[in-house]
Chains A and B, each alone.
Chain A
Amino acid sequence: MTMKIIMKIKPSLLAAMLLWTPLTVRAGDFDAANQAYAAQKYDDAIRIYENLLRNGSLSASVFYNLGNAYYVKGEIGKAVLEYQRALLLEPNAADVTANLAALRHAWGLPEPAVAWWQKPLLMFGRDTWAWIGFAALTVTMLAVFVRALWLNFSVPEKCPLRLLHGAVIVSLLLLLFAGGGLFAQSERLDRQVVMAGDVALKVSPFAEAGSIASLKEGDLVKPLKQHNDFVYVKNSAGQKGWVSSGSLQAVLP
C-alpha cells in the first residue's frame, strides 16, 4: 500500500526535487564564491561566480562581487563590464557606483558624461520605468473603462469624475516620464567596454590604418556602425574612430 502511494507521488516528488536542487546548489555556490573571495582566492571566486551566471542565475550581487574580484585582480575591463551589468539590474546600487567611481579614479578612466535632463531620468532603471509606464497606461485605460461602464450601466451623474480625471492626468504625466526614462536608459544598454589596454582608435576599418588616439582598458564606448571586424565607436571624450570588435564587449550580451 505504502509502495503504491510512493509510486503514485513519485513523479511529483521527482519534479519537486528537480526544481529545488538548482536553487540550493545556487545558494551554496554563491556562498562558496564569497568564501573563496574572502580567502583571497580570487581565481576560484571568479570561476564560481561565472558558473552561476552561465547557469542563468543572474543577480546584481553576483555581477557586483564578480566585478570586485576582477578589480582586485587588476582586470579592469572585466571589472567595469561586470559593474555595468550590475547597474543594469540595480541602477542606484551605492556599492556598485562607489567601486566603479573608485576604479575610474584609480585608473584614470573618464566618467561618462550625463546631460542635465538625463539625471532625473536615470534615478530608476529601465525595468522600473517600464513598469511605471505600464501602471500609468493601465490606470488610464481603466479610468476610461470605468467611466464608460458608469455611463452605460449606472447613474451618470454619480460618476466620480474628478477622481477619474485626476487619475488620468497623473497617469499621463507618469507615462511621459516613463517614456523619457526608457529613452535615457537606452544609451546605457548600447554601451560596450574596452577589454584591452591601449586599443587604437583608427581612422579607417583596416588593421594597417593610422590611429587617432588610444582607448584605455575599461573605457566605455558607444557603437555607431560595423564594418567586418571593426566597429565605429564614439568614446566618452567624443572622439570617433574604428576599433577592432575583438577588443570590445557589450554590456548587454
Chain B
Amino acid sequence: MKNFQFAIFTLRKVALTLLALTVTVSAESGISARLNRDTVALGSSATLQLEVRGDTLGALTVPQVAGLQLEQIGSSRRNNVSFSFGNAGSASSRETIVQIGFRVVPQRDGSFTIPPFTCEIDGKTYATPPLTLTALKDSAAATQFANAGSPSAATPAAAPAGQTAAIFGKITGVPEKMYVGQITPATVTFYVNRHANLQIGQIGLPSLKHDAFAAPAPRPDEVRQQQDNAYHVFSTVVPLTAIKEGRFELAAEWALTVLVAEEPGGGDESPFNHPLLRGFLGRQTQKSVTVSSERLGVEVLPLPDAERPASFTGAVGRFDATLSAEPAEVRTGDPLTLKISIKGSGNFDRIAAPAPTAGAGWKTYPASAKFESADSTGITGVKIFTQALIPQNEQARILPAVEFSYFDPLTVKYVTVTPPPPPVTVLPAEPGGALARQAAAHGADSALAAQNPALAPIRLEEGAVRADLRPVTGTAWFWMANGGSLLFGLAGFLLLRRHRKTLDADYQARRQTDRHTALALQALDTALANEDSAAFAEAASRALREHLAGLWNLRAESLTTADVRQRLGGEGESALALFEAADAVTYAGRRLSRAEMVDFKRQVREQLNQS
C-alpha cells in the first residue's frame, strides 16, 4: 500500500514538472521566418511563412525589396493560456501566435536578400534573420529542378512565357502538319498553381472543340490528376482526327468552378485582414470559369491524289495486314472462314473491309468487323474482318488475294499491303448432308446460314395479322374509346355534383325547420310565462306542425291532422291528441291552468324529441 502511494506521488511530481517545463518552452516570445524554397523559376513564386509569438504584439514591419513582390496570402491567429503548478504554487501565462503567409514573386532573375521583418513583442523589438532567394530563368530553373529530381514528368518548367495566371493549359502531341483523316493522341493538360489565391470547386472535363477536328469527349475516369509542390495537374489523352483541310488554331477548354477569396477592403490596413483568413471565415466567392489553353497552330493538308491506289478507302496511319483461313482443308460447297487482321495505329474507324479480288471458283460474302483496341484512345489495335468464302469447284485451289492500302503521313506515301494467302486444300464435294453442300447444289446463298448454326428457325404459323404497323395509339378509334371512358367519368362527376346539391337542399330545409320550431318553442315559453292559454296553444300547435312538416318535406301551413294521422298511423295518437287539445283552446275557448300548460309543454317536447 505504501509503495502504491509513493508511486502515485512520484508520478504526480513528474507530470507537474513536465507541465511547468512545457509552459516555459511555449511561452518563449519571438519572430521567425522561412522560405519553402531558396530557388524559383522566373514567373513562379515561393512561399514565405512568418510566425510571431508573444503576450502583447505590436506593429509588424514588412520589408520592401526591389524586384521582389511580397504578397500577403493568408494569416491565422491563436491564443494559448497555460497554467503551471509547481512546488512553490501555481502560475498562468498567456501567449498569442500569429502566422502570416506571403507569396514571394521575383520580377527579374537574380539573387535577392529579404531584409529582416521586425515586430515589437512585449515591449521589446524582435527581428527575423535575413533570407536569400534566387530567381532563375525558365531553362535554368528547369535544369535545376531536373538535377534536384523534384518535379514529376507532368510538372511544367513554368507557365508559358510571360504567363502568371493561376490556371493555364497546353495541348501536346499534335504535329504541326496533319492530313485529312489522320488521327493523333492529343494530350490536354491543365495546371493549377497550388499557391494561387483560389480553391478548385467542381471540375469539368477538359475538351478539344473545333469544326475542323473530331475529338470525342473524354470520360471522367480518363482524366488523370497529379500534384507536386507547385501545381495540381489535370491531363487526358484525346484521339484527335483532322477532318477539314486548312490552317487552324486549336485550343482546349476546361470548365470548372473556383472559390476565390474576396479582395481586402481599402480602409482596413490590419495584417490580419487577409483573404486567406477571410477564407477561413467563409468569405469566398464561387465562380464558374472556362479556361482556354494556349493556341496551337495546325495545318491540315489534303490527301494527295497522285498515286492513290484503287483499294484505298481512307485509312491513314501505319498498318500491317495478315490473313488466316479456317479450316485449312475444305470440300467444294463447304464454307471457309477467312480472317483479315489489320494491325497498327491510325484511324481504324475509316478502315473498310478489303474486298477479295474475284478468285476463280470462289464465292465471297460480305465481311463482319471487330476492333480490339490496344490503348484507351483506340488509335492502336487490330481490326479483324471475318469473311465467308465457298469453293464452287475443285479449281478453287488458291484463296482470292486481299489488298489493303493506307496513307502513311510520316513518309507522305500511299502503301499497299498484299498479305500472302494461307494454303488451303479444296477437296471434291461429298454428296448430300450438310446445309452448305445443299446450298452449293441449289446455287443458293447459304454460307451465312452455315456460319450461324445458332440462328433460330423461321416460324411456321403466321400468327396475328394486322393491316398497319402503326401503334394503336396512332388510331382514331383508340382515342374515341378513351373518350367513351372519360364520358363515363364525366357522367359520374355530374351525378356526384347533383348529389351534393341535393344534400345541400336537405340540409338547408332541416336548418329552416329547426329555426322555425325553435321560434315556436320560444313563443310557447313566453305564453307560459304570461299564462296566455290561446297564445300557448297556438305556439304549441305551430312547433309541432313545423317539426313534422320539416320531417316530411311539406309546408307547415298545409299540414292537416288528416296528414298526421295518415303518415304516423297508430304511432301518431299522442301527437294528434296534442293537436286536438290545442284546437280546443284556440277554437273552443277552453282555458288552461298553469299546471296544465307545464304538462302540455312537456308533452310537446317529448313529441319533438321522439320523431
Q: Taking beta carbons and an 8 Å cutoff, which residues of A are in contact with B?
A: 26-27, 30, 34, 37-42, 56-62, 64-65, 68-69, 71-74, 76, 85, 88-90, 94-95, 98-99, 102, 106-108, 126-127, 130-131, 134, 137-138, 140-142, 144-149, 151-152, 182, 185, 189, 197-198, 203, 210-214, 216, 239, 252-253
Contacts and interface: CB of A to CB of B under 8 A. Distances in A.
B444 A41 contact: yes
B485 A141 contact: yes
Interface stretch (B94-102, B156-164, B463-471, B513-521): B463-471
Contact of A137 (B449, B452, B486, B498): B486
Given A34-B458, A40-B444, A148-B495, A58 B469 contact: yes
Interface string B432-456: 0001001100101110110110111
B482 interface: yes
Contact of B469 (A39, A40, A72, A253): A253
A18 to B, nearest CB: 16
15 contacts: A34-B460, A40-B444, A40-B449, A56-B468, A57-B465, A61-B461, A74-B445, A94-B456, A137-B482, A141-B492, A144-B489, A149-B495, A211-B243, A211-B350, A239-B216
A142 B488 CA distance: 6
B180 A27 contact: no
A60 B458 contact: no
Given A182-B473, A197-B352, A42 B463 contact: no
Given A42-B445, A126-B473, A138 B488 contact: yes
A35 B481 CA distance: 41
Given A65-B459, A197-B353, A198-B352, 15 more contacts: A41-B442, A56-B468, A57-B462, A57-B467, A72-B448, A89-B466, A89-B469, A95-B457, A106-B451, A107-B368, A108-B368, A127-B472, A144-B492, A148-B496, A211-B350
Nearest to B435: A40
Contact of B482 (A64, A134, A146, A216): A134
Contacts of B492: 141, 144-149
Contacts of A41: 442, 444
B448 A145 contact: no
Closest 4 CB pairs of A and B: A141-B489, A148-B495, A210-B243, A145-B492
Contacts of B470: 252
Contacts of B457: 68, 95
A109 B101 CA distance: 60
Of B451, B462, B487, chain A has the most CB atoms within 10 Å of the CB of B462
Contact of B467 (A58, A60, A182): A58
Interface of B: 180, 211-212, 214, 216, 241, 243-244, 313, 349-350, 352-353, 365-366, 368-371, 435, 438-439, 442, 444-446, 448-449, 451-452, 454-473, 478, 481-482, 485-489, 491-496, 498-499, 502
A62 B460 CA distance: 10
A152 B445 contact: no
Interface SS of chain A: helix
Given A41-B442, A141-B489, A203-B214, A74 B366 contact: yes
A99 B455 contact: yes
B444 A152 contact: no
Contacts of B214: 203, 212-213
A249 B494 CA distance: 50
A60 B212 CA distance: 45
Contacts of B496: 144, 147-148, 151
A62 B353 CA distance: 32
A27 B244 CA distance: 56
A111 B97 CA distance: 65
A165 to B, nearest CB: 14
